[in-house]
C-alpha cells in the first residue's frame, strides 16, 4: 500500500500533467512525461521502502532499548555481515557467541536443507523418535563425561536454565537455589530471579523465592551452601561480567562443597561451550565434572536450540509424579538439531582443528590490542573484553568501529568493556584489520 504522502504527490503530478484528449492529441509528449513520472515515483518508492523498513522495525517490532543498532543486514557469510548499502562488516560479536563455526557454514546449510526435505515439527517434544534429536544427543554425550549422558533439548538458553532448576528441586526435594553476582542466565522469570544484578531484577518482583546471590570466585561464599541448597548455578566463566574466569582452586572447592552437601552443581556453558574457551567445554579447564550443564547459543549452529544435560537417573525424575514433569512443544526442533549437529561436527573435524586454533588467534588479538586508552584486557580463549575508563569512552569507540565496518558492542554487567567474541573461524587477516580499526577508533 502506498502511504498518504505518495498518494498526494501522485495526484498532484497527475493534475499538472497534460493528458491527451480527443481535442488535444499530444500523446507522444505525454507518454514521455509519464515515463519520467513513473521513474520518479519508482525511485521515490524504493527510497521510501528502505526508510520504511527501519520505521516499521521501530514501530512494529517490539523494542528492547531506545537505541537499537538497527543495522539492516541482508547477508551473512563466514565472519562477515553485509548491509543494504553493500557495506561489509567484520563480525566481532558472532550473534553473541552463537556463530562459532561462522555464519551459514556450508555443512550447516546442507544439513538444514536435507532435514527440510524430511520433516519439520511433527509432535511435541519427547513423544516421537526423531533422528536429528537422537543423533545429536548421542554426539553431545559421546563428547561429555560419562555422567552427562541424557539430553533435554529446549528452544533457548533461558529455557534450559528453567528446566535445570526444576530438575534440581525434583532430584533433591530442596528449594534453595544459589547463584552469583554479575551472572547472566536469561530473561524468563526463573532465570531472571537468579541473575546477579538487582538493576535488572528489581522491576519484575516478586520473583522466585529462596534464591541466594553470592560473590563469584569467593571462598567465603562457599560457606552459605548447605543441606538446604538444591543447586548452585554458575557460569563456568562469567560472560556478561566482562569475561571473568574463576580460579581453578575456587571451582574445585565449589565442586567439593556441592558434593559434600548433596547439592547439584549446574554449570552454565551457554557462552563457554563449543570451543569458545579453547577447549570444547569450558569446565575442561578446571578438571571437574558438573552434575548438569546448560547449553544454548552455538548449540544450534545458528538455529534456536538450548539443552540441559545430566545423568539419566536424575533426568528420569521428570517422568513420574507428575508425569510430563517438563514439556515443550518445539524444544529440540528437528531442523535446529540437524543444524547444530552439523556445526558441532565441523568443530570436531580434523581433531578439533578450529578449536585448537583458538589459542593462537587469542594471542594474535592480545598482541595487537595495545593502546594507552585500553585500561585492561580480560580474556579467556577467543573471547576478549577490552576495558576502557568509562561507558562513554567505550560507546564512542564502538560507534566508530561500527561506522568503520567492525561490529562490536559492550557487556551487560561491564558497560565499559568492548566485546570480542567472533566466529572461531575468523582469519588472521580479519583479526589484523579488526584490531587496526579498533586502535584507530581509540586514537580519534
Ligand atoms: N546463560 C548465559 C551465560 C547467557 O549468556 C545467556 C544469553 O545471553 C543465557 C543464559 C540465556 O540464553 P537465551 O538468550 O538463549 O535465553
Burial track 169-198 (b if 16+ CB lie within 10 A, e otherwise): bbbbebebbbbbbbbbbbeeebbbbbbbbe
Higher pLDDT, 37 or 146: 146
CA of 185 to the centre of ligand 1 (A): 5
Is the Cβ atom of 158 under 6 angstroms away from ligand 1?
yes
Q: What are phi and psi of 9, to 5 degrees?
A: -70, -35
Mutate to test the pocket of ligand 1, among 241, 296, 299 (most ligand atoms within 8 A of CB): 296
Residue 276 has pLDDT above 80, yes or no: yes
Residue 39 has pLDDT above 80, yes or no: no
C-alpha cell at 28: 507522444
Is the Cβ atom of 192 under 6 angstroms away from ligand 1?
no
Tens of pLDDT along 163-189? 999 999 999 999 999 999 999 999 999
Average pLDDT rounded to a whole number, residues 136-153: 98
CA 276 – CA 334 distance, rounded (Å): 25
pLDDT computed for residue 51 by the predictor: 59
C-alpha cell at 254: 565449589
For 3-7, 134-138, 349-353, 437-441, which range has the lowest pLDDT when averaged over its residues? Answer: 3-7
Torsion of CA 95, 100, 102, 105, to 10 degrees: -120
- Average pLDDT in the chain: 91
Residue 37 has pLDDT above 60, yes or no: no
pLDDT computed for residue 411 by the predictor: 97
CA 292 – CA 315 distance, rounded (Å): 10
Tens of pLDDT along 240-268? 999 999 999 999 999 999 999 999 999 99
Of 405, 346, 378, residue with least CA distance to 109: 346
Residue nearest to atom 2 of ligand 1 (CA): 185
Instruction: With cut-offs at 50, 70 and 90, classify the pLDDT of residue 444.
Output: confident
Residue 36 has pLDDT above 60, yes or no: no
CA 49 – CA 2 distance, rounded (Å): 10
Higher pLDDT, 29 or 73: 73
Which of these CATH numbers, 3.40.50.300, 3.40.50.720, 3.90.1150.10, 3.30.1280.10, describes 73-98+357-443? 3.90.1150.10
Q: Where are the domains of the chain?
A: 8-56, 73-98+357-443, 106-351
Residue nearest to atom 7 of ligand 1 (CA): 186
Separation in Å, CA 318 to CA 48, 152, 164 = 53, 11, 11
CA 152 – CA 170 distance, rounded (Å): 15
Angle at 74 between CA 407 and CA 115, to 5 degrees: 105
Average pLDDT rounded to a whole number, residues 418-428: 98
Higher pLDDT, 52 or 252: 252
CA of 364 to the centre of ligand 1 (A): 28
pLDDT computed for residue 40 by the predictor: 43
Is the Cβ atom of 185 under 6 angstroms away from ligand 1?
yes
Is the Cβ atom of 411 under 6 angstroms away from ligand 1?
no
CA of 412 to the centre of ligand 1 (A): 11
For 29-43, 89-103, 345-359, 365-379, which range has the lowest pLDDT when averaged over its residues? Answer: 29-43
Is the Cβ atom of 160 under 6 angstroms away from ligand 1?
no
Mutate to test the pocket of ligand 1, among 64, 270, 274 (most ligand atoms within 8 A of CB): 270
Residue 370 has pLDDT above 60, yes or no: yes
Tens of pLDDT along 129-141? 999 999 999 999 9
pLDDT computed for residue 27 by the predictor: 39
Higher pLDDT, 36 or 249: 249
Tens of pLDDT along 388-397? 999 999 999 9
C-alpha cell at 210: 529462596
Q: What is the 3-state secondary structure (H, E, C) of the chain?
A: CCCHHHHHHHHHHHHHCCCCCCCCCCHHHHHHHHHHHHHHHHHHHHHHHHHHHHHHHHHHCCCCCCCCCCCCEEEEEECEEEECCCCEEEECCHHHHCCCCCECCHHHHHHHHHHHHHCCCCCCCCCCCCHHHHHHHHHHHHCCCCCCCEEEEECCHHHHHHHHHHHHHHHHCCCEEEEECCCCCCCCHHHHHHCCCHHHHHHHCCCCCCEEEECCCCHHHHCCCCCCEEEEEEECCECCCCCECCCHHHHHHHHHHHHHHCCEEEEECCCCCCCCCCCCCHHHHHCCCCCEEEECHHHHECECCEEEEECHHHHHHHHCCCCCCCCCCCCCCHHHHHHHHHHHHHHHHHHHHHHHCHHHHHHHHHHHCCCCCCCEEEECCCCEEEECCCHHHHHHHHHHHHHCCEECCEECCEEEEEEECCCCCCCHHHHHHHHHHHHHHHHC
Tens of pLDDT along 3-26? 333 333 333 333 333 333 333 433
CA 419 – CA 386 distance, rounded (Å): 7
pLDDT computed for residue 28 by the predictor: 40
Average pLDDT rounded to a whole number, residues 418-443: 98
CA 239 – CA 406 distance, rounded (Å): 21
Residue 305 has pLDDT above 60, yes or no: yes
CA 173 – CA 155 distance, rounded (Å): 26
CATH number of 106-351: 3.40.640.10
Mutate to test the pocket of ligand 1, among 185, 190, 281 (most ligand atoms within 8 A of CB): 185
C-alpha cell at 238: 562469567
pLDDT computed for residue 49 by the predictor: 52
CA 171 – CA 159 distance, rounded (Å): 18
Of all atoms in ligand 1, which is nearest to the CA of residue 186? 11
CA 399 – CA 183 distance, rounded (Å): 26
Is the Cβ atom of 186 under 6 angstroms away from ligand 1?
yes
CA 230 – CA 215 distance, rounded (Å): 18
Residue nearest to atom 8 of ligand 1 (CA): 186
Separation in Å, CA 51 to CA 55, 61, 296, 387, 407 = 6, 15, 34, 36, 22
Tens of pLDDT along 403-417? 999 999 999 999 999
Strand pairing report for 229-235 and 211-214: unpaired
Is the Cβ atom of 211 under 6 angstroms away from ligand 1?
no
Amino acid at each position: 500500500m502506498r502511504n498518504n504522502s505518495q498518494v498526494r504527490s501522485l495526484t498532484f503530478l497527475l493534475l499538472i500533467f497534460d493528458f491527451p484528449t480527443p481535442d488535444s492529441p499530444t500523446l507522444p509528449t505525454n507518454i514521455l512525461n509519464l515515463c519520467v513520472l513513473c521513474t520518479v515515483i519508482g525511485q521515490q518508492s524504493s527510497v521510501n521502502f528502505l526508510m520504511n523498513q527501519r520505521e516499521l522495525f521501530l514501530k512494529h517490532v517490539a523494542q528492547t532499548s531506545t537505541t537499537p543498532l538497527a543495522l539492516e543486514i541482508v547477508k551473512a557469510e563466514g565472519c562477515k555481515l553485509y548491509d543494504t548499502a553493500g557495506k561489509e562488516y567484520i563480525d566481532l560479536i558472532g550473534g553473541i557467541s552463537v556463530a562459532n563455526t561462522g555464519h551459514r557454514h556450508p555443512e550447516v546449510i546442507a544439513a538444514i536443507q536435507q532435514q527440510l526435505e524430511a520433516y519439520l515439527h511433527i509432535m511435541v517434544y519427547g513423544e516421537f523418535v526423531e533422528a536429528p534429536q537422537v543423533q545429536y544427543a548421542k554426539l553431545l554425550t559421546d563428547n561429555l563425561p560419562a555422567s552427562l549422558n541424557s539430553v533435554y533439548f529446549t528452544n533457548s538458553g533461558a529455557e534450559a536454565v528453567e528446566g535445570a532448576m526444576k530438575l534440581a528441586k525434583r532430584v533433591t526435594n530442596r528449594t534453595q537455589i544459589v547463584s552469583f553476582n554479575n551472572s547472566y542466565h536469561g530473561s524468563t522469570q526463573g532465570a531472571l530471579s537468579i541473575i546477579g544484578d538487582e538493576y535488572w531484577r528489581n522491576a519484575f518482583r516478586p520473583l522466585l523465592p529462596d534464591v541466594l546471590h553470592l560473590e563469584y570466585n569467593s571462598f567465603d561464599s562457599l560457606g552459605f551452601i548447605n543441606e538446604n541448597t538444591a543447586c548452585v548455578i554458575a557460569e563456568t566463566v562469567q560472560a556478561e561480567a566482562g569475561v571473568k574466569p574463576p580460579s581453578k582452586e575456587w571451582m574445585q572447592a565449589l565442586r567439593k562443597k556441592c558434593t559434600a552437601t548433596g547439592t547439584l552443581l549446574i554449570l552454565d556453558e551457554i557462552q563457554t561451550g563449543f570451543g569458545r574457551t579453547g577447549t570444547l567445554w569450558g569446565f575442561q579447564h578446571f578438571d571437574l565434572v558438573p552434575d548438569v550443564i546448560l547449553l544454548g547459543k552455538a548449540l544450534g549452529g545458528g538455529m534456536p536450540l538450548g539443552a540441559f544435560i545430566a545423568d539419566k537417573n536424575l533426568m528420569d525424575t521428570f517422568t513420574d509424579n507428575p508425569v510430563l514433569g517438563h514439556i515443550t512443544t518445539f524444544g529440540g526442533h528437528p531442523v535446529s538439531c540437524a543444524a547444530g549437529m552439523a556445526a558441532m561436527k565441523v568443530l570436531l573435524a580434523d581433531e578439533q582443528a578450529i578449536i585448537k586454533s583458538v589459542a593462537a588467534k587469542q594471542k594474535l588479538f592480545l598482541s595487537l590490542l595495545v593502546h594507552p586508552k585500553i585500561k585492561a584486557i580480560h580474556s579467556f580463549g577467543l573471547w576478549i573484553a577490552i576495558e576502557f575508563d568509562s561507558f562513554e569512552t567505550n560507546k564512542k569507540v564502538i560507534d566508530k568501529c561500527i561506522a568503520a565496518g567492525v561490529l562490536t558492542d559492550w557487556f551487560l554487567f561491564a558497560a565499559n568493556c568492548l566485546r570480542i567474541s567472533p566466529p572461531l573461524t575468523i582469519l588472521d587477516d580479519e583479526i589484523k584489520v579488526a584490531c587496526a580499526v579498533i586502535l584507530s577508533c581509540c586514537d580519534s
